[in-house]
Structure 1
Amino acid sequence: MNRKQFQLAEGTREPGIVYVPYTVSETNALRYISFGTCVVPCEIKTDYLSDSTITIGREVLQELRLPFLSDIHVFLHDDTIIIGPLIGIFTAGFTESQLRPIGERSLFFANLLTSKTAQKAYLFVFGSHNINWQEGIITGYFYNQERWVQYDIPFPNVVYDRLPNRKTENHRAIARVKNRLQQEYLIPWFNPGFFNKWDIYTLLKNDKEVASYLPETRLFSGFEEVELLLSKYRHVYIKPMNGSLGNGIYQVRYSFEHNEYYCRYRDEEGNKLRKYHSLEFLMNHLLADVDLHTFIVQQGIPLLRVNGNPVDFRIHTNKNRSGEWIVSAIAAKIAGQGSMTTHINNGGEVKTLEEIFPDDKERQTIKERLTTVTLLLSKQIDATVTGYIGEIGFDVGVDKNGHVWLFEANSKPGRSIFDYPKLREGDLITKELFLDYALHLTEKALFTPEELFQ
């Protein structure tokens, strides 16, 4: 394997010839040039005046469907020059707008496609409607010079899954596209599905090394389940298995002194606190219209507090260029007044570790614990969940004794914490690592495909 970075240029005098720098020693063996899944046979010669530019004849450029010329990664393998990688970001929710083709998420994708690291790859966004199966091309959205531009390009080397929600993911047409690109074209597809809270819990609970970080969790089957956990822990959370952003969560507390039940929740009017004399009345009043068999009941944890408010942590882990897990960002989230969760849309506040742990020793201890646990969880989830996982967003808590607890693992973590100015570095790092892992998968698919496709 031989991967370097070269500048690409268009050759106008000899439209069917590709010139490579004299620094490339394998020139005599090269017979093809490829971009994505497109492979073009061509004559390849040495350019004795350049050490860093590959000049591609106009006819070859047209056959390759290169959208523009750039300083890019080039892989040399056997008899082929491989330009790229060409990375497709698969999503849904497209509009007719030229300014915001992916609706409210257009800015998120524009930032992803124009990060400093992204300049070393061809990145585009596409949906199922952009694929021309007969011609083997995709009409992809690129973001160039502060505007969205569409180009017809070959199928990509790698696909990054950024579908917006579970409903879209489960659509039959979406599932067919995913299966076809993976099965027929052997294109690695990473972060392929949303995690289910119960599935993740059942996958992890039998592993002795990670089980101690899991709050006791049960499928809801009746009042008895809630009463049992309340008797053990004094408060519990009732959560939808496939929920997100803190929606649909109920915190139930039991007061032994007053023999009363208290429930915190959020509705369209804001955060609410209600008192009930019986659990049955509470459930029948608040949850009568909810399919509780899609919910879990989870042990409540007495969390660390900042200024009297509970705090938990969002930790992003990513795979790097070598396919190894690293922690890329850590943020503290402080619950809003009257809220039982720390989600920003519930009034939560984002802070750095430095801001809530001014003592260096205490901060380092917490950071090491969070890092050790989330890397262990990342590896275990990666080993048990089907598909290629390149990033995970963890919501974890630390109790008053310093023990770390996993609340949730997200396969498509939101990025709202990076709106906080002091976390911009983490924002940049996670974007760089996204491309690093895409490069890792590209190299695996090109040079050791047996390790990916077994």
Structure 2
Amino acid sequence: MRKRYPIEFSAKIDDVVYYPAEFPLNGTTLKIAFGSKSVAAIILPHPEAENVIVISKNIQAQLKMPELTSQLHLFVENETLFIGPLVGIFTAGFTPFPLRPVGDRSLFFAKLLSVQKSVGVLPFVFGEKHIDWENGLIKGYFYQQKGWEIIEVPFPNVIYDRLPNRRTEKLFELKKVKERLQNDYLIPCYNPGFFNKLEIHERLLQEDALSQYLPETHPFTSFSNIERMLADYGHVYIKPINGSLGFGVHQIIYDKRGGDYYCRYRDEHGKNKLKKFASLEILMRHIFSNQSLSKMLIQQGIDLIRNEKRQIDFRIHTNKDESGTWQVTAMAAKIAGPGSVTTHINNGGAIRTIEEVFPDENDQQAFLEKLTDAALELSKGIEKNIDGFIGEIGFDMGIDRNGRIWLFEANSKPGRSIFKHPRLKEFELLTRKFSLAFAVFLAEQAITKPEEVFK
């Protein structure tokens, strides 16, 4: 595990950087670097053998290193000592209000940035309009005890993509910014883009070890395909290929005895509905008259385990740590609301811990292991099959009545509703820490093994 070191700035020395006594710096080091900036300096071991980084004020000014810098990591390559990482969190939706610079998401970003000292990174939030391309500088939003502060810093070592939605992500200007930073400045970007549900499914289907977790899923092509799946499974789900938060999900149920079709869904007013139809054609015409079925997928229905007659699924968060290894950082059960087609809280769902839904310790341990193993396997499989660097994934999984694990969805920018449960607060903190800890790994790789990162 890499070690972070406290940083001090000194006006008593010029052009000097003292590195920690225990840091293994061998040979000649002539430069000091912070983000994209580097300057010549006299680099010496700490004169009093302390494990502290001391930087002269004039070097600090040349590097554009903020005074608020507290604890960072050290990397050495090509006779240069790198201090960092400086992490740029790229987003959109900025406002002119100093207390809420990113609108409703300002609290989320403030909490994310608050873990910087314990992780050993210096993170800031920025958007397209904050970049000074000519001078290689960014006016970044930093969060301190007193609140938000705008400070000009060099281009970062790594970029964490936190664009808020698919619509923003598709904007030409924002695509060009990311491409330019990655291609022209060789800054690695992690978590680039929202997942396409169908694409993820099709790629994982090619992996024999992972296909066991995948329910039968197809793009909408014809009513006859739905009829065949209803005959096989009794019920199916129709979902938007690029949907989120449970919006637009419909469950279609076929009653073999009566020959009727039922559709469970949430209407535009937020009410849960269950309607009966004499045929699939009438159902589809009535329910989907205003929707483009070409943007929908059909997924096998599964008889999930239940809690008080309400179906349960599970949200599992995985993150890469500062060694680049996948870890499960949070897990919770989500229980469907009465009459709801999904387990989302906005549909009346409830969050429970694993202990609450499995009071028997043997069941608890068995399902915990099964879900953990599946989430880690799937994380590695997605990483292998998707371009770019992925640092976190949120999985929606189910357990059927035979104890088999199923993957329903994987999200590259998972929601955080499960953390409203009081006993999941520590895991919420863990996911924030790991979100930035991966930047330490990626920065070190970009500095010491650029040929692997930018191949």
| Common fold: TM-score over 0.5 | yes
Say yes or no: does 1:200 pair with 2:171: no
SS at match of 1:29: coil
Say yes or no: does 1:150 pair with 2:150: yes
Say yes or no: does 1:387 pair with 2:388: yes
Residue in 1 aligned with 2:51?
A: 52
The residue identity in structure 2 corresponding to 1:385 is I
SS at match of 2:439: helix
Q: Deviations over 1:312-331 (max 9, x none)?
A: 00011111222121211110
The residue identity in structure 1 corresponding to 2:16 is I
Structure 1 residue 40: Cα displacement: 1.0
The residue identity in structure 1 corresponding to 2:61 is Q
> Retained in 2: the 8 A contact 1:112–1:118?
no
Residue in 2 aligned with 1:340?
A: 341
Structure 1 residue 268: Cα displacement: 3.0
Deviates more, 1:94-103 or 1:6-15: 6-15
Structure 1 residue 118: Cα displacement: 5.0
Structure 1 residue 207: Cα displacement: 1.7
Q: Deviations over 1:213-260 (max 9, x none)?
A: 111111101211211111111100000000000001111101111111
Q: Deviations over 1:265-284 (max 9, x none)?
A: 11232111111111111111
Residue in 2 aligned with 1:248?
A: 248
Residue in 1 aligned with 2:397?
A: 396
> Retained in 1: the 8 A contact 2:333–2:354?
yes
> Retained in 2: the 8 A contact 1:3–1:76?
no
Residue in 2 aligned with 1:302?
A: 303
> Retained in 1: the 8 A contact 2:18–2:47?
no
Paired residues for 1:8-157 under 5 Å: 8-24=7-23, 26=25, 29-68=28-67, 69-115=69-115, 118=118, 120-157=120-157
Q: Distance in 1 between matches of 2:354 and 2:248?
A: 28
The CA RMSD measured in Å over matched residues stands at 1.6
SS at match of 1:373: helix
Q: Distance in 2 between matches of 1:338 and 1:23?
A: 62
Q: Distance in 2 between matches of 1:11 and 1:26?
A: 21
Structure 1 residue 354: Cα displacement: 0.3
SS at match of 2:369: helix
Structure 1 residue 348: Cα displacement: 0.8
> Retained in 2: the 8 A contact 1:21–1:49?
no
Q: Distance in 1 between matches of 2:237 and 2:20?
A: 62
SS at match of 1:275: strand
Paired residues for 1:360-439 under 5 Å: 360-439=361-440
Q: Distance in 1 between matches of 2:324 and 2:21?
A: 32
Residue in 2 aligned with 1:286?
A: 287
Q: Deviations over 1:13-58 (max 9, x none)?
A: 3343333344456376121111101111122344422412322222
Change (3 A) 1:394 1:3: closer
SS at match of 1:355: helix
Structure 1 residue 74: Cα displacement: 2.2
The alignment of Structure 1 onto Structure 2 pairs a total of residues equal to: 453
The residue identity in structure 1 corresponding to 2:362 is K
Give 4+ residue runs of structure 1 displaced > 4 Å after superposition: 21-25, 116-119
Q: Deviations over 1:105-161 (max 9, x none)?
A: 110010000026556210111111111111101111110014011110011111111
Q: Distance in 1 between matches of 2:92 and 2:134?
A: 21
The residue identity in structure 1 corresponding to 2:282 is F
Change (3 A) 1:315 1:229: same
> Retained in 2: the 8 A contact 1:29–1:78?
no
SS at match of 2:365: helix
Change (3 A) 1:26 1:297: closer
5+ unaligned residues in a row in structure 1: which ranges?
none
Change (3 A) 1:56 1:420: same
Residue in 2 aligned with 1:218?
A: 218
Q: Deviations over 1:162-203 (max 9, x none)?
A: 111111111100100111111111111111011111101110
Q: Distance in 2 between matches of 1:40 and 1:258?
A: 79
Q: Distance in 2 between matches of 1:437 and 1:21?
A: 23
Q: Distance in 2 between matches of 1:445 and 1:438?
A: 10
SS at match of 2:4: strand
> Retained in 1: the 8 A contact 2:119–2:437?
no
Q: Deviations over 1:45-95 (max 9, x none)?
A: 444224123222222111111112312222233422211110111111111
The residue identity in structure 1 corresponding to 2:165 is N
Structure 1 residue 4: Cα displacement: 4.2
Deviates more, 1:208-217 or 1:117-126: 117-126
Q: Distance in 2 between matches of 1:219 and 1:8?
A: 54
> Retained in 1: the 8 A contact 2:237–2:249?
yes
5+ unaligned residues in a row in structure 2: which ranges?
none
